[in-house]
Amino acid sequence: MEYKVALGPQHPALHEAVSLRMTLDGEIIRDADLKLGYSHRGIEKLAEERSFIQNIYLTERICGICSHSHTTCFTQGVEQLMELVPARRGLYIRTLIAELERVHSHLLWLGVAGQEAGFESFFMYTWRDREVVLDILEWISGNRVHYAMNTFGGVRRDIDELQKKKILDNLGLLRQRTDYYLNLAASEPTFIGRLAGVGKLSKEQAIALCAVGPTLRASGVPMDVRKDDPYAVYDEIPFEVCTADSCDVLGRAVVRVKELIQSYNMIEFILQNLPEGPFKVKAPRKVKPNEVYSRYEAPRGENVHYIKSNGSDKPERLKVRAPTLANYPATIAMLKSGFIADIPLIFAAIDPCICCAERLVQLDNPRSGESQVLSFSQLRSMANAHYKKIDLTKKEAAWPF
Amino acid sequence: MNNEEIIAKINSGLKDMVQEAVAAAPRRINVKVDRNHLLAVLAYLKDQFHMAHLATISGVDLGASFEVIYHLSNDVVTVNVRILTPRQEPKIPSICSLIPGAILYERELQDMFGMVVENIPDPRRLLLCDDWPEGQFPLRKDWKFERPAEIIPGGK
C-alpha cells in the first residue's frame, strides 16, 4: 500500500519554505518530488533595472548566509567586463572575508546537523563558537551578516594591525574547539551511528546530477572552483581540496570539518602575507557591451553568475545559479529508499538555502485560492484589523505566582 | 590542456557542426552551434573532455530571438555552448538524456522565457505559482511588472 505525504512548505523539520511530496511504502520513501517557488523574489528581473553599483547590494540580499559569495561572484565578473585590475590588498581582504564566511557557514551547518541527529549539545557548542566568527566579521565590516565589503576595484574597508592581532587570537580559540569537535564526532558512536549510511549518493550519480560543493566532494569527486578555476588570490594561497568517499551524511560532515581547518590555515596565511598598498582602485560607471561567466566556490558549492552588459550602467541580463538549486536533483536521489525519519537529516546535509535558490510579490489566499497583489499599507491595515480582533484580556491576566 | 588545444580539437572533431569556437578569457571558451546539433556537440564534449558538469543554462532575450547558453565545465576549462532560437518558435531540445541534472534549469527556462523544451521528462512549472496566468513570461524583455499605485491612508 502506497501513501502520498506532503511535507511543507511550512514544516517544523524544514527551516525555510519548500514543499516535498513523497510516495511512501510504510516508512520507506519510494519517490520524492520537490516544489519550489515559495520565496521567489524576482531578483534577476530587478537587477536589469538597477545600476551595477546598486546590484552589488541587491545580489548581497540573495542570501543571508553566503551574502559575500554572491557579491564577490558578481563583482569579479563586472570587474572583468570593465577590464579593471582590482587592488591586490583589496583582493586579499575579499578572500579573508570569504574564508571567514565559510567558517561561519560550516559551523552553522555542523550545529544544524547535530540538532537533526539528536545531538543538541553539539548544536549549542558550535553556535556559541559561530559567535566568535561573527564578532570578527563585525570588527572588520561593522556587520554580522551583510558585510557590504565588496566594491568594484577592491573592498570598502581596510584592516589595521590591531584588528589583525585580534583575529589571530580568536582564531586560536576556534582552532582548539574545532579539534575538540573532530575528536568528539569521531569517537561518539551514537553520532556516527546516526549519520553513517544515511542519504547515499554514489560518485556516478553525483556527477550525472551535477551536484556541487561538499555534497559532491563527499562522494569522492575533488571538484573545487578555488582549485580548478582560481579567482581572487586563491592561486597564491596554499590549501587542499577536502574529499570523503563514504558518500553519506557522515562524509559530508567530515568534509566540512576538514574544510574548517583548511579555512583557518588560509585566514592565517592571508593575515601574515597581507600586501601593503591601496585597498581599492577607481572604477568606471559604464561598462562596454560584453558578457562574462563568473564562478565562485561558496560554502555550499559552486555559485555561478552570468552577466551580459550593453554599454550602459545597467546589466542587460544577470543570471544567478545558487548552489542549493544544483543540489536538488541529487537530494531527490538521496531521499529515495531512505526513511521518513532521515528526511530532515538528508535535507539539512546539502545545507539548503531556499531563498538563495529562488530569486514577485504575490499573495495567495489559501482558502479561496485567489491571488492578489497588496500594497504595504494594505498589509499594515490588515495586520491592525487582525490584532484588534484578538482578545486583549489575556494580555492583562495576572502572573500566576 | 589549454584553451588553444581544446579549440583545435573541437574544430577538428566537430567540423561543420560548430559555427564558432573562441577563447573568451583564460579558462573560458565560447562555442556557437546550431540548435539541431546541440545534443551531438554536448555528447562530444562529454566523451572527449569529461564535461559532464552542467553549471546552469542561461536564457537571454535578444529581441527577435532567444539565446540559450549551456555552461559546461571540467576541471580545467568552462565551455559556454550557445544556440539561438527564434522568438516565434522558441523550441530547444531537452538534454536530460545526456545530463540528467539539467532538468531544473530546463523547467526554469520554460517558466521564465516560455521556451518549449522538446522531450523534457518533467514539463511542470518550477518557480512560478500554479495560478500564474498562461503566456506571461517574466524574464522576457517586453514583460513589465506593473505595481498598483499605493494609497497612504491619511496621506495627501
On whether residue A9 sits in a domain, the answer given is: no
Structure confidence by residue, pLDDT tens digits, A233-254 = 999 999 999 998 888 888 898 8
State which CATH number among 3.30.1300.10, 1.10.10.10, 3.90.226.10, 3.30.460.80 fits the domain covering B3-89. Answer: 3.30.460.80
Report chain A residues whose CB lies below 8 A from the CB of B70.
Answer: none
Chain-chain contact of B145 with A364 (C-beta, under 8 angstroms):
no
Model confidence at B79, in pLDDT bands (50, 70, 90)? Answer: very high
The stretch A292-305 carries a mean pLDDT of 93
Quote the pLDDT of residue A393: 58
The stretch B130-141 carries a mean pLDDT of 86
On whether residue A322 sits in a domain, the answer given is: yes
ipTM summary value: 0.91
Report chain B residues whose CB lies below 8 A from the CB of A373.
Answer: 147-148
Model confidence at B132, in pLDDT bands (50, 70, 90)? Answer: confident
Residue type, A354: I
Substitution target in A306, A309, A377, A379 with the highest count of B β-carbons within 10 Å is: A306
CB A37 within 8 A of CB B126: yes
Kindly tell me if the per-residue pLDDT of A367 is higher than 60.
no
Quote the pLDDT of residue A363: 44
Top-confidence residue, A113 or A358: A113
**Distance from the B64 Cα atom to the nearest Cα atom in chain A, whole angstroms:** 15
CATH number for the domain harbouring residue A197: 1.10.645.10
On whether residue A28 sits in a domain, the answer given is: no
Quote the pLDDT of residue A396: 58
The stretch A263-291 carries a mean pLDDT of 92
**Distance from the A150 Cα atom to the nearest Cα atom in chain B, whole angstroms:** 23
Q: Degrees (nearest 5) of the Cα angle A15, A20, A21?
A: 155
Output the average pLDDT for chain A.
86
The rounded distance, in Å, linking the Cα atoms of A297 and A239 is: 14
On whether residue A367 sits in a domain, the answer given is: no
Between A67-81, A170-184, A268-282, A363-377, the lowest mean confidence (pLDDT) is in A363-377
Q: Domain range for residue A142?
A: 43-357
Chain-chain contact of A42 with B104 (C-beta, under 8 angstroms):
no
Between A134-148, A205-219, A354-368, the lowest mean confidence (pLDDT) is in A354-368
Residues 23-82 of B with CB under 8 A from A: 24-25, 27-28, 52-56, 58-61, 69, 71, 73, 75-76, 78, 80
The rounded distance, in Å, linking the Cα atoms of A182 and A56 is: 37
Nearest neighbour of A325 by CB, restricted to B73, B104, B112:
B104
Quote the pLDDT of residue B156: 63
Cα separations (Å) of B20 from B30, B31, B45? 8, 6, 15
Residue A229 in grid coordinates? 578555476
Model confidence at A360, in pLDDT bands (50, 70, 90)? Answer: very low
Residue B37 in grid coordinates? 546539433
Quote the pLDDT of residue A365: 46
On whether residue A75 sits in a domain, the answer given is: yes
- Count of domains in chain A? 1
Element (H, E) at A107: helix A88-116
Q: In chain B, where are the structural domains located?
A: 3-89
Structure confidence by residue, pLDDT tens digits, A58-95 = 999 988 888 999 999 999 999 999 999 999 999 999 99
Quote the pLDDT of residue A401: 52
Residues 6+ apart with CB under 8 A from A11: none
Kindly tell me if the per-residue pLDDT of B61 is higher than 80.
yes
Kindly tell me if the per-residue pLDDT of A157 is higher than 70.
yes
Residue of B nearest to A308 (CA): B60
Quote the pLDDT of residue B98: 92
Residue A387 in grid coordinates? 490584532
Kindly tell me if the per-residue pLDDT of B18 is higher than 60.
yes
